[in-house]
Amino acid sequence: MKNILSVLLIISALQFDLSASLSDTDEETLKISVKWKTRLLPGVPRNWLKGGQELNIRNVSSYFGPITFYAVSGPDEKFIEATVECNSDRKPEEVIFRLPHPEGIYPVKVSGGEYDTINESVIIRPFSGKAKIRLEY
């Protein structure tokens, strides 16, 4: 059941960043930057990462090609480890992997990405196609 629900919790996104500025010739220019990213488990319930729980999703179809990811919480909830892999030619530039602690606490040490406390997510950028994350509490 968790595997089926997890598949529904993957979002692929295209983000446009727009900024306008005046050049030296006073002509208006508009800079458009396109970022391809995917969000993994944006709505995952906290209790899915209680001590010793595992989430293992393999070859989920996405715009970027098949994505495989795995997350496990340590038995004492002192760490969460996760991996994500996407070997397609169209892999995302950025992966946002939500890994909330069951008790709502923030990690004291993060490896493998940048931690976003507001969304309880690890941001992996640039994403090379494979990443390993470890959060220590």
Comparing CA positions, the residue from 71, 76, 75, 54 lying closest to residue 120 is 71
CA angle 7, 61, 92 (to 5 degrees): 100
pTM above 0.85, yes or no: no
Burial of 49 (0-12, 13-18, 19+ CB in 10 A): buried
Q: Which domains does the chain have, with CATH numbers?
A: 2-136 (2.60.40)
Structure tokens given for 11: 């979002």
Q: Which tens digit of pLDDT belongs to each residue from 38-78? A: 999 999 999 999 999 999 999 999 989 999 999 999 999 99
**pLDDT above 90 as % of the chain:** 70
Comparing CA positions, the residue from 135, 3, 1, 125 lying closest to residue 68 is 3
